[in-house]
Amino acid sequence: MPSIRRKISFGFFALIAIIAFLALFAYSDLRYLERRIGSGVAIYEFLETVLVIRLREKDLLLYASDQDLESALDYAAKAEDILKANRQAFLALQTEPELDALGSLLDEYRHYLAGYGELPLRGAKPTAKAKEALRERGERLTTIAEALATAERAELGASVSRSQWALLGSVVVIALLGIATAQLLSRISLRPLAWLEAELAAIGEGRYNQLNPVSRDQEIVSVSRAINRMIIDIEARNRQLMQSEKLASLGTLTSGVAHELNNPLSNISSSCQILMEEIAQQSNIDPMEWLQQIDQETERARLIVRSVLDFSKESRMRKTETRLREIIDRSLVLMGQKGNFRIDAGDIQQQTTLLADAQKLQQVFINLFQNAIDAGGPKVTIWIRSKTVAGQDFQLPDGAVSGKRFGSANPRGRVVVIEVEDDGPGIPQEVLPRVFDPFFTTKDVGRGGGLGLYVTQEIIDLHEGCISVRSRPGRGASFVICLPCDEADAESATPSA
């Protein structure tokens, strides 16, 4: 499996190898310049020696001094030594025949110089022809030496220029390689990390989708697998949290459920006693009326027990076509009749149908009703209203604080807007932005864990809906829920203002 670490290591090693190659190239170029400079020194030394010989030649022609002759011959020998010791340097500027011709010329010049200087010693007078022959060879020697120096100067300048361009080219290559390496590292590591950041942001917003890695690199695959395991654990814990909150709500509702069960059981007991007394007295009364009442009250108790069992059991998310009115009615059954609170659901549209998990939405409404009762006391009044509108027409109420999602649940279709309003004391403005936070509560210790509205928000989010709350201190609070309609309801619903 490919690895980001291996790719980065390979990229750096490749870059280091290229830099090392360029450094070696620069070193070899500097060594070449060093050799050229050494050759230049030898050639310029040869030129300087030739010029000194010509100067001694001039003195010899003017004064015919033994010292001038001896000095000229010494410098001529020195020139020959330079030529022999630096043959390769001269071959870089001349061909081998030309270099041999130069050596022959220097030897011939030296011979003419010695012959011209020995004439006075033998009592002979130098002729004009001898002077001319000596000068002519000296001039040829000077011309060749100067040409060599000029050629060496040009070659050295060209070498320096090539070295400059090579250095500039190396810098450009290293810069381009650095940019290419940075781009490669960006594609290898930063792009998957940016993708991972976006996916984590979605998880932070509650969209727990399994990650499908955009890169096959070992690190990204390992992190994606770890995050996927984390998502599975989070979903499992969320289900446990919802179930725990559901059971906590059920515990709070136990007294109301007991009261609801007590009424049909009392009626059943009374009807049985009356029926037994009438039968004992052998009365002519028809027992069917009392048996029907017993059956009705038994069915009523069975429905209450079934509602409690359905509400308490744990289940996975399962959306079905459900009428909103039925969900509200089941929630009211569980709420019972404890206290003097009043729940007015008269404004719920009978035909409104949702594609939803009825049990989970039942938990939503029980949480909202219970919060209103806890805040407003037993005499609070709760109104429930609903309307179906176009998704693009839905707007959050002014001053409302929304949960995770913001705006319409279905901007291209129809949505059901449900409002749960109470006339309690309301929610303080400084507390309002935090009501959907987990474990946040204003209740006394032991009376609530601060998970009711958080779980409510999670359930609405699972239905791809949104929830918001607004409050008027001293005049109650209002929760607005926006849920997408199912297909049938979306076609039959009429717009509402």
Highest mean pLDDT out of 78-87, 223-232, 442-451: 78-87
The per-residue pLDDT for 449 is: 53
The Cα-based distances of 128 to 132, 134, 135, 153, 418 in angstroms read 6, 10, 10, 37, 132
- Checking if the pLDDT of 471 tops 80, the result is yes
d(CA 334, CA 471): 26
Of residues 246 and 466, more confidence is placed in 466
The per-residue pLDDT for 313 is: 56
Least-confidence region, from 176-185, 227-236, 358-367, 445-454: 445-454
Least-confidence region, from 250-264, 355-369, 459-473: 250-264
Give backbone dihedrals phi and psi of 358, rounded to 5 degrees, phi first: -60, -40
Mean pLDDT confidence for 396-403: 77
Q: What rounded mean pLDDT belongs to the chain?
A: 76
The residues near 213 (Cβ < 8 Å, ≥ 6 apart) are 192, 220, 221, 224
Highest mean pLDDT out of 84-93, 264-273, 332-341, 453-462: 84-93
Highest mean pLDDT out of 148-157, 248-257, 374-383: 148-157
Of residues 428 and 297, more confidence is placed in 428
By the 10 Å C-beta count (0-12 exposed, 13-18 middle, 19+ buried), 484 is classed as buried
d(CA 48, CA 75): 10
- Checking if the pLDDT of 327 tops 80, the result is yes
The Cα-based distances of 358 to 158, 245, 255, 308, 347 in angstroms read 89, 16, 23, 14, 19
Mean pLDDT confidence for 219-236: 76
The per-residue pLDDT for 491 is: 39
Token duo for residue 20: 């090392």
d(CA 379, CA 300): 26
Token duo for residue 228: 């996927």
The Cα-based distances of 62 to 69, 193, 343, 421 in angstroms read 12, 91, 140, 131
Give the pLDDT band (50/70/90) at residue 368: confident
Give backbone dihedrals phi and psi of 423, rounded to 5 degrees, phi first: -110, 30
Q: Helices 254-280 and 324-335, interaxial angle, to 10°? A: 80
Give the pLDDT band (50/70/90) at residue 143: very high
The per-residue pLDDT for 226 is: 81
274-310 pLDDT, tens per residue? 667 666 666 666 666 666 667 666 766 666 666 555 5
